[in-house]
Amino acid sequence: MKNNNGKSLENWIWDAACSIRGAQDAPKYKDFILPLVFTKRLCDVFDDELNRIAEKVGSRAKAFKLVTRDQKLVRFYLPLEPKKPDGPVWSIIRTLSDAIGEGLTTYLRAIAKANPMLEGIIDRVDFNATTHGQRDIDDDRLSNLIEKISEKRLGLKDVEPDIIGRSYEYLIRKFAEGGGQSAGEFYTPKEVGMVMAKIMDPEPGMAIYDPCCGSAGLLIKCELALEEKMALRSKDKYAPLQLYGQEYIGNTWAMANMNMIIHDMEGEIEIGDAFRNPKFRQGGQLRTFDRVTANPMWNQNWFTDKDYDNDELGRFPQGAGFPGKQSADWGWVQHIAASLNGSGRAAIVLDTGAASRGSGNAGKNKEKEVRKWFVENDLIEGVVYLPENLFYNTSAPGILLFLNRNKPEGRQGKLFLINASRVFAKGDPKNYLPDDGIERIASVFLDWKEEEKFSRIVDKAEIGKNDYNISPSRYIHTNDAEEYRPIAEIVAELDALETDVAETNAALRAVLDKLGV
């Protein structure tokens, strides 16, 4: 999409981010940049709505008076009126010259006050904030950023919601590239999200939930997948998805809300820890959904057995229970399974080791026992093994785990496995799934189509013989060697063995201490 000065919207939006310091430091300022790009979109759309009303009432001055009296005439009312009514609303921000940080903060707080839906979202950041007596972002940088953002118009006639939405996601992705270990908290590569969304195959009006939604990318991908499907059916009128998410980091929660609005989508995003305090409840029980899509932080180790024992929502059934403190991956899977209605399906991104840790060990392994429970209760629809180096906070490949509470006849008691480890294109700095790769993975999974060295249908008995290892790489070998074991998977299993040894040693030491040995 080219706009105004010929640059693509993506290039412009990244140049704007880099204008305040440089590409190396742009991610540092994401909490300042995202609200400003969002505000520019609000201002330009508000201008378009004013112009539409002005055509009917005769002038922009009359249009301003009209929307001030009846703010429901516009989606978002902006209490910013230029001295000359025909001037763009954004000019009020663009012409700030003194105390820019203070003025900008005041304007954004006024917008939030006029639009309760934006409270805590657009007014979250203090552009005048200091740390140890020094401004976090000084007025010179702010002025440069505002001027750069001013180069393009983001109104209704300039750019469609899906284009500005994609550009906004592009900006979030670029921040993730430089975000190190924190990147995975708010961004899942868009190609991975599209694979998940296409396999979830949502229908109009369905309720979709993400308990750790980050920037809401996975929810948005589900709506985009629905739009694509409806276009193929030549349907232009249909019920949109009902989108629900929860995110525990405040600034990321704000990012998710802005991302939804800029995509012209509506959803309900709650703030808080969905593991310890899920916000979506109904009649004292966990609310259930048609689809759940999620990328919980891998191998979280800050949940203890008390977090599971104290649960009053029936999320951790007897026989499954506590997967061990070193990794909450299967704890999240249990929460997600409990959030599905009777015909619900889920797509979850997990660490590769979650598919195999504990399998083959001589002793009992808590994580394996939870995995076994899911296999024996026939809740796992399938697993996709991803290529390496897709995610911004790790080079590990990861898996996609799919749950289904209502498997169709003929698929019961079976799992569909895909080894997509070779379906990637080289990128900088990360690999990515090409468009034909996304389509191949999704279509093969939906059709349960077996392909040599790519996909297999495996029954529960074979999974049991392999000690409940559900990694596709265990069953589908992509090269000519007799068996291929990814290094990441082997390392994960070694880590699990070390944990088991440590727990056994600790238990033995406790016994010996009691005996006084």
Q: Average of pLDDT values for 481-503?
A: 55
pLDDT above 60 for 482 = no
Query: Band of the pLDDT at 106, cuts 50, 70, 90?
Result: very high
- Please report where in the chains the tokens 């310091």 appear, as a residue: 21
What is the percentage of the chain residues whose pLDDT exceeds 90? 77
- What average pLDDT score do residues 378-396 get? 94
Beta bridge partners of 394: none
Averaged pLDDT of the chain: 91
Q: Tell me what pLDDT residue 393 has.
A: 80
User: Coil, strand or helix: which one is 306?
Assistant: helix
Q: Where are the alpha helices (DSSP H) in 79-160?
A: 91-94, 100-114, 139-149
pLDDT of 321 reads 80
Which residue ranges make up each domain of the chain?
9-171, 179-301+345-477
Q: What pLDDT, on a 0 to 100 scale, did the predictor assign at position 249? A: 93
CA dist 456 and 296 (Å) reads: 27
Q: How many helices (H) and strands (E) does the chain have?
A: 17, 13
pLDDT in tens, 222-280: 999 999 999 999 999 999 999 999 999 999 999 999 999 999 999 999 999 999 999 99
Paired tokens of 390:
């897709």
pLDDT in tens, 397-412: 999 999 999 999 999 9
Residue 85 has pLDDT above 60, yes or no: yes
Q: Return the pLDDT at 487.
A: 58
> Residue 455 has what pLDDT?
98
Residue 507 has pLDDT above 60, yes or no: no
User: Rounded mean pLDDT of 286-306?
Assistant: 94
pLDDT for 491 beyond 70 = no
- Mapped onto helix, strand or coil, the DSSP state of residue 7 is coil
Q: What is the pLDDT of residue 53?
A: 97
Q: Residue 35, class by beta-carbon neighbours within 10 Å (0-12 exposed, 13-18 middle, 19+ buried)?
A: buried
Given this model, what pLDDT does residue 378 score? Answer: 98
Q: Which CATH number applies to 179-301+345-477: 3.30.2350.10, 3.40.50.150, 3.30.420.40, 3.40.720.10?
A: 3.40.50.150
Q: In the predicted model, is pLDDT for residue 183 greater than 70? A: no
**Average pLDDT value for residue range 445-465:** 97
pLDDT at residue 179 greater than cutoff 70: no
- pLDDT at residue 483, as a whole number: 46
Residue 400: predicted pLDDT: 98
**Res 6: pLDDT:** 47
Confidence tier at 492 by pLDDT (50, 70, 90) = low
Q: Is the pLDDT of residue 21 over 50?
A: yes
**Which spans in 240-324 are helix H?**
250-262, 305-309
Q: What is the pLDDT of residue 176?
A: 86
Q: What is the pLDDT of residues 115-142, one digit of tens each?
A: 999 999 999 999 999 999 999 999 999 9
Considering the chain, what percentage of its residues have pLDDT values greater than 70?
Answer: 90
Q: How confident is the model at residue 362 (pLDDT cuts 50, 70, 90)?
A: low
For residue 289, what are the β-bridge partners? 340
pLDDT top residue among 11 and 199? 199
Confidence (pLDDT) at 22 = 79
CA-atom Rg of the chain in angstroms = 25
Residue 5 pLDDT > 50 = no
The predicted model gives 99-127 an average pLDDT of 97
Report which of 259, 335, 344 is spatially closest to residue 296, judged by C-alpha positions. Answer: 335
CATH fold of 9-171 reads: Ferritin (1.20.1260)
Q: Where are the alpha helices (DSSP H) in 134-187?
A: 139-149, 161-177
Give Cα 233 to chain centroid, integer Å: 28
